[in-house]
Amino acid sequence: MAAAVTPSTSSWVRHKITHRTNCSLQTIHYPKQSTIQKPKPPSFTVPSTVKKEKNSKPQWNFIQKAASLALDAVENALTVHELEHPLPKTADPRVQIAGNFSPVPEQPVRQRLPVAGKIPESIQGVYVRNGANPLFEPTAGHHFFDGDGMIHAVQFKDGFASYACRFTETQRLVQERSLGRPVFPKAIGELHGHTGIARLMLFYARGMFGLVDHSRGTGVANAGLAYFNNRLLAMSEDDLPYHVHVTTSGDLETVERYNFDEQLKSTMIAHPKIDPISGELFALSYDVIQKPYLKYFRFSNNGHKSEDVEIPVSEPTMMHDFAITENFVIVPDQQVVFKMSEMIRGGSPVVYDKEKVSRFGVLDKYAKDGSSMKWAEVPDCFCFHLWNAWEEPETDEIVVIGSCMTPPDSIFNECDEELKSVLSEIRLNLKTGNSTRRPIMSEKDQVNLEAGMVNRNKLGRKTSYAYLAIAEPWPKVSGFAKVDLFTGEMNKHFYGDEKYGGEPFFLPRDPNCEAEDDGYILAFVHDEKAWKSELQIVNAMTMKLEAKIKLPSRVPYGFHGTFVSANDLANQA
């Protein structure tokens, strides 16, 4: 398979990009003075499963060909100039996609995988997990979040397991594959400073000449997955979701960029919430350029969209996640904001505003507008993810469970301070507008807990447990913890010597189970010594390993997943 590298890249640039150095986790925190070891170099290859027609070159007229050559020359000169200076580690592909963060090619379905132990009989369906997997080798700055979306799927059927992984066929990926090179700007890795402005201008110039079409979306669909209204949706917050179909054999096929039958006109964040009782989907959309900067909306369980509700915020705010309760939606307005003017000054548009006071807004789920939203200040709080929330009417409080991250912008900007992610209980008093915040675990038990979830059948209601990735030794994920949210007691499962994973996914044994923790944890795990991957299944009640499914190819560390039951698979749209 031929390497998918931009043909016009100079050998010097190619050397800068290809010879990678090792950092074990993608983006969370890179101290300025860190020791970097040599890894196994990742390979960038166009998957052999790609059909020839998908790689066919566009048919351009003379003017378009001339414009393409001129713009390519400008971009190449820009790239050489940019790489004359050291890239920050949060935009350096040698760091961001090294080791098991490097991409893999697509894999067709492999059936009847080897299993150590026994797959629980109740697990029938498909576990899918999203992740960033750049099709083309970066030619300049690249952040792990910038990669093309790839879904990894393990299907369980009658005690056997199969595996496949496929790119989500976003409009961005389809166009770049046709061109044979990356041309869409990398939202985090490239759009900073004056070179970021220049890259934006180049991109829109290509659009003016018809060389690319940005009207059909620019997103990567690499972050979240949700099954709603008989559709598996792949999402990133910079675009509409994509509908992906799971075949009877366990393969994955992209159906379309999904606008809910032309109801959705804006982007949707990658963490929508599905109410386990009503079946409704609740979501947010944010805009970094123009008002309204933030909108809230919902879909009925049969896919009918509500009117947008503008959330009153004074500036564009990083809005990666939010929470719901039985009656309310909880919206964080925190200290990481977007200031596009910082690019003119040579900086990143993602800014930690130390003068801003974080606050959480509480709005009725069925509100017609944002005028009734109640705000409570929560100073010095930045939660990239919120695990759950519920109402406590006896005290007029909303309880929010999240991991409070410091420094808040270390995912995006290089910093010296060691990152901490503290599992916290935040209480919002609806009467007084005040808040309290406390760490759930004692100081001696503190570990960095970041990716994870609660039992989704209890979402928006009081829960006793959260299942969260142990991001230690930072920034690797060595296992996961089952945390009692009331006592702070923590029960840990470690993946094994030199084995690391990502988000633990809790799957209830049965939708009607009485015990909240009656179910299993599914997690992709990679053995960095043997360079092999597996799926571990852990009993959530006993925290004992039930089974390990040996996977036929490497699974890179990634983002979020979901499970689609066998019954839902049979009823896909």
Q: CA–CA distance from 166 to each of 49, 299, 569 (Å)?
A: 10, 28, 18
The answer to the question of whether 152 is labelled as a binding residue is no
CB distance 146 to 189 below 8 Å: yes
The CB density around residue 266, as the number of other CB atoms within 10 Å, is: 14
Is residue 320 annotated as involved in ligand binding?
yes
At position 240, the amino acid (one-letter code) is: L
Q: How far apart are CA 174 and CA 178, in angstroms?
A: 6
SS3 state of residue 357: coil
What DSSP character marks residue 317?
Answer: B
304 labelled as ligand-binding? no
Helix extents (H) in 261-391: 341-344
Given strand 561-565, what is the order of strands in its sheet?
107-110, 160-167, 149-157, 125-132, 561-565
- Residue 81, annotated ligand binder? no
Rounded to the nearest angstrom, the gap between the alpha carbon of residue 421 and the centroid of all alpha carbons in its chain is 17
On whether the CB atoms of residues 488 and 481 are closer than 8 A, the answer is no
Structure tokens at 248: 């009877």
What's the length of the chain? 573
**Which run of H or of E encompasses 234?**
strand 231-235
Q: Are 412 and 90 in contact (CB under 8 A)?
A: yes
Residue type, 42: P
Question: Of 31, 42, 124, nearest to 418 (Cα)?
Answer: 31
Binding-site residues from annotation: 271, 320, 385, 560
Binding-site residues from annotation for Fe cation: 271, 320, 385, 560
